[in-house]
Structure 1
């Protein structure tokens, strides 16, 4: 199993929107590194759902329900999507500020590559962040 983080601006697509839909096609990614991360996602992988710009925090946990395929919003074959489904909203969110303050998360891709919309999360980082949600 692999672990990931995806970002969404809550005024465009929030965790609550995601839960209402019950699943989401993660489309519109136009960065090669983020696309390559999506291509590496496997069904069953866990994904942190991060609100960017507003809130700036991890709010919930999702799961990859379908591996990558051609992005239906473009005819350009370079771009792909994955499908995600919500697993749970966290009782306590984990802010970017809290992650930056935790030395154990100093190598977290979210911190190192802050503009990337889809990033990998190492197992140890995943476990630390998950413990901060309780």
Structure 2
């Protein structure tokens, strides 16, 4: 078995509403690093917990805005840990049913590496190699999705 430090990189697309945390906000944060809070979908949480590791590549995607699309490149900068917003009644991500002894929700840190030109859905759809991306699938609402290495390379060539 290959040690984790020598495993191949994995790639992810992570959605963020720019009003909450944009690529510019992430780049301006100390160390260009932000805690990725508020994930409240079990499948997305499981991607963070079971699949994402420090160093993995991230497509920073602006969602729920006038022009959604890939806005930057980042990397996973930490292992997962408990997301404290689930216990904060003032947080929009509060989950009163999440037990302190066995928290449901996790976060990890993302380090922004650079802002890119915005690649919107129409441009993504225009490239056949990207057709299988989960972001392009009807009904996809996940905030975190895996990206195939071939798709990652195609996107890097576009940026």
TM over 0.5: yes
Q: Is the 8 A contact 1:94 1:129 kept in 2?
A: no
Give the alignment's TM-score, normalised by structure 1. 0.92
Runs of 4+ in 1 over 2 A off after TM superposition: none
Shift of 1:72: 1.4
Q: 1:15 aligns with which of 16, 23, 40?
A: 23
**Cα RMSD between the aligned structures?**
1.2
> Is residue 88 from structure 1 mapped to residue 96 from structure 2 by the alignment?
no
Structure 2, unaligned stretches of length 5 or more? 1-8, 88-97
Give the greater-gyration-radius structure (CA): 2
Shift of 1:84: 0.6
Give the alignment's TM-score, normalised by structure 2. 0.79
Q: Is the 8 A contact 1:7 1:117 kept in 2?
A: yes
Q: SS state of the match for residue 73, structure 1?
A: helix
Q: 2:132 aligns with which of 103, 107, 115?
A: 107
Q: State the alpha-carbon separation in 2 of the partners of residues 111 and 58 from structure 1.
A: 12
Shift of 1:93: 2.3
Shift of 1:67: 1.2
Q: 1:68 to 1:57 in 2, by over 3 A?
A: same
Q: 1:60 aligns with which of 72, 80, 89?
A: 72
Q: State the alpha-carbon separation in 2 of the partners of residues 60 and 28 from structure 1.
A: 20
